[in-house]
Amino acid sequence: MTDATLAAGEFSSAEIISNDINLLPHDVPEAATPVAEDIPNGFVTLGLAPELIQAVKDLGFTQPTTVQLKTIPLAMQGVSDDGNSARFVDLMVSSQTGSGKTAAFLLPVLHTLLKQQEQAEAKSRADYEQAVAEAAAKGEAAPKRAKRKDPTNPRHFSAPTPGALIVCPTRELAQQVAHDAIDLVQHCRGLRVANIVGGMPYQLQIAKLQNANLVVATPGRLLDLQRSMQIKLDQVQFLVVDEADRMLDLGFSDDLAEINQLTIDRKQTMMFSATFAPRIQQLASRVMREPQRITIDSPQEKHANIKQVLFWADNAQHKRKLLDHWLRDTTINQAIVFASTQIECDGLANDLQQDGFDAVALHGALSQGLRNRRLMALRQGQVQILVATDVAARGIDVPTVTHVFNFGLPMKAEDYTHRIGRTGRAGRDGLAV
């Protein structure tokens, strides 16, 4: 049900509960170690559905990270087994990349959807059994169960009404989160995930939306489909805004306001951001109800396993020669070189190719299909060097990236934090220049 082109896991290691650990991929997967059979599964104590606990274990994790320990119980406060839901709590969570925040919102949302699905199925069975009993009492034949219609048949089309919505600022991040969600629902019968991003064929995404319980989307394409009546958002109960700071940086403030109005009857809103800057607090005041705040670790703590070094270049030519020298380091497995602009990105990638490097460019002007293919090539080890703009700084989790080079400096400190977080993943050490 999704464009499963990117993905990775993002749970904490089985041996450590720490702010320095990452969790599923939507954000950036966290460091992970093999599951130790003699260590109790920490996710069991969080009250998650057995299907989700098994999926997490299958991914190789048994211990939640700090952000998961603090977020999941609060996010699930409104869930009950008897169908009577208490008031859900709105949450503002400040957590750095790699802290495991993706699973911190995916797990409670999926758990709640599962519980609601179980309750709906139980009610349906009870209603059917009652109808059978009433028919038997009247001496009539038992009623037939309604046949399930094929949602892909145009004659049966009806605009899907997902119960949960996650909005992300970039296509890559949305794809990463959707892939994480798909990994988590592998044991959940009937729970479907759809990924909606720009740059992909409309009809393909419309087909994938059918019967979707959870939609992970970028704001632009989501609103395009909503305005054309291909999706209805009035039944959304749970809204997650991931990387809210980046949302505002990219100018999605008006889109978020519209999404807020379209999902005004929802039960819960969760917002994740690197900081609680005043503009984030203003956004929260418009879309949330008395949110509880959770703050996790600092960038300095988060990147403790990443060595950061600074080199001074005399001029542009000298900087280019330095990069050429560094990239010939035999200890490099894979590297990401960040450029400041799309033009610089293309030019640098072409120069590196001419110099014999296995390099490709990645930036927002490329088609989504090409971006997906180049990221997949990086994941599969077919490309050693990715030259990218900040479009790649969020949501990409490739554990084999050993080096990050900031050839073009980022505009904001938080962008630098996200850039260097592309290395030092999955328990490995990294180097950022």
- Residue written as tokens 């610089």? 344
pLDDT score at 412: 75
Mean pLDDT of 118-128: 63
Which of 129-133, 170-174, 368-372 reaches the highest mean pLDDT? Answer: 170-174
Q: Model confidence over 297-343: pLDDT tens digits?
A: 654 445 667 788 888 888 888 988 888 888 888 888 888 998 888 88
Q: Model confidence over 247-289: pLDDT tens digits?
A: 888 888 899 999 999 999 999 999 998 778 888 888 888 888 8
pLDDT score at 159: 75
- Tokens standing for 348? 């640098």
4 has a pLDDT exceeding 80: no
Span of 221-225, 253-257, 387-391 with lowest mean pLDDT: 387-391
- Residue written as tokens 């039944």? 235
For the beta carbon of residue 60, count every other beta carbon within 10 angstroms.
14
Span of 107-116, 182-191, 259-268, 406-415 with lowest mean pLDDT: 406-415
Residue 103: which H helix or E strand, with range?
Answer: helix 101-137
Task: State which amino acid sits at residue 351.
Answer: D
Q: How confident is the model at residue 295 (pLDDT cuts 50, 70, 90)?
A: confident
Fold match flag (44-115+145-300 vs 303-432): yes
Residue 166: which H helix or E strand, with range?
Answer: strand 164-167
- The pTM of this model reads 0.73
For the beta carbon of residue 204, count every other beta carbon within 10 angstroms.
10
Task: Output the CA torsion 328→302→105→57 (10° steps).
Answer: 70
How many angstroms separate the CA atoms of 405 and 207, rounded?
40
Q: How confident is the model at residue 227 (pLDDT cuts 50, 70, 90)?
A: very high
- Residue written as tokens 């797990």? 107
Mean pLDDT of 210-220: 90
**Domains of the chain: which residue ranges?**
44-115+145-300, 303-432
> Bridge partners of 338?
388, 406
pLDDT score at 330: 85
The beta strand positions in 297-380, using DSSP E, are 306-308, 334-338, 359-362
- Residue written as tokens 């988590």? 184
Where residue 314 falls (left for φ over 0; alpha for ψ -120 to 50; beta otherwise) is alpha
Mean pLDDT of 59-82: 81
When the candidates are 3.30.200.20, 1.10.390.10, 3.40.50.1580, 3.40.50.300, the CATH number that belongs to 303-432 is: 3.40.50.300
Q: Domain 44-115+145-300 - what CATH class? A: alpha beta
Q: How confident is the model at residue 189 (pLDDT cuts 50, 70, 90)?
A: confident
φ, ψ for residue 395 (rounded to 5)? Answer: 90, 0
9 has a pLDDT exceeding 70: no
